[in-house]
């Protein structure tokens, strides 16, 4: 009888222990599955972000080059640059970037910094071009005004020439940043695609 009771107690204890272990294993399995699903979701979000940023920056840069960038590269002096009213940084041309701050924080710091610097400098360049256009209009108004003041015309002309030289430098700087950032975004897309099957992404 004692043997039967001991066997029964041992059997119950074993069953209880097995149930606890199975429960823990099942719990761990659910956790790992949820963790894997979360990681896949984050990878997909990053891939979408890279594609969207790449598309946005490519479209803006190509438009900028078509409207004024190519002319600015060719022009040797302010007179050779056609007067153009450009889109400004205050418009919503940067909607993908402006709405992706929470994702940029998940990138490796140097990569996030490069993307932010590129967009900030591009926006600043658009503002500088807008200011240049206003200065060019002022120069035009002073030259064509009823009360022509040669000293004022000369002063405005010097300011315009100085600003033109600054624009040339800024254009070259921003062009380098944009092209490097576009190349980086393409590499990120490739890595993100590869990570779906084999590579761990650490951007």
As a whole number of angstroms, the distance between CA 201 and CA 195 comes to 6
- Residues of the chain with pLDDT > 70: what percent? 70
Question: Over 50: is that where the pLDDT of 199 sits?
Answer: no
Q: What is the pLDDT of residue 183?
A: 94
Task: Describe the chain by its helix, strand, coil percentages, rounded to 5.
Answer: 85, 0, 15
200 pLDDT band, cuts 50/70/90, is very low
- Tell me the CA distances in angstroms from 38 to 4, 26, 42, 176, 193, one per residue in order: 50, 18, 6, 36, 17
Q: What is the pLDDT of residue 8?
A: 62
Q: Which of 61-65, 148-152, 163-167 has the lowest mean pLDDT?
A: 148-152
- Residues of the chain with pLDDT > 90: what percent? 28
Residue 42, Cβ neighbours under 10 Å: how many? 13
Mean pLDDT of the chain: 79
- The domain locations on the chain are 41-195
Q: What is the pLDDT of residues 20-32, one digit of tens each?
A: 676 676 665 656 6
| Residues 6 or more apart in contact with residue 4 via CB below 8 angstroms | none
Q: What is the pLDDT of residues 77-129, one digit of tens each?
A: 888 877 665 555 566 788 899 888 778 887 888 988 999 999 999 999 998 98
Residue reference for tokens 């041992």: 10
Q: What is the pLDDT of residue 150?
A: 74
Q: What is the pLDDT of residue 118?
A: 95
Average pLDDT over residues 18-47: 68
Q: Which of 1-5, 36-40, 111-115, 160-164 has the lowest mean pLDDT?
A: 1-5
198 pLDDT band, cuts 50/70/90, is very low
Average pLDDT over residues 161-166: 91
């Amino acid at each position: 009888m004692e043997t039967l009771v001991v066997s029964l107690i041992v059997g119950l204890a074993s069953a209880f222990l097995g149930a606890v272990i199975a429960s823990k294993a099942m719990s761990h399995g659910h956790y790992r599955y949820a963790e894997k699903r979360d990681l896949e979701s984050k990878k997909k979000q990053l891939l979408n972000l890279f594609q969207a940023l790449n598309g946005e920056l490519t479209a803006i840069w190509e438009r900028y080059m078509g409207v004024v960038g190519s002319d600015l590269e060719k022009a040797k002096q302010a007179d050779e640059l056609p007067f153009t009213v450009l889109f400004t940084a205050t418009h919503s041309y940067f909607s993908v970037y402006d709405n992706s701050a929470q994702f940029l924080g998940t990138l490796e710091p140097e990569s996030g910094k490069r993307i932010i610097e590129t967009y900030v400098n591009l926006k600043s360049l658009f503002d500088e071009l807008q200011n240049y256009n206003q200065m060019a209009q002022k120069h035009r108004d002073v030259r064509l005004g009823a009360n022509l003041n040669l000293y004022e015309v000369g002063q405005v002309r010097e300011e315009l020439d100085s600003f033109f030289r600054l624009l040339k430098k800024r254009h070259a700087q921003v062009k380098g940043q944009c092209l490097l950032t576009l190349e980086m975004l393409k590499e990120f897309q490739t890595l993100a695609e590869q990570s779906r099957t084999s590579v761990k992404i650490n951007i």
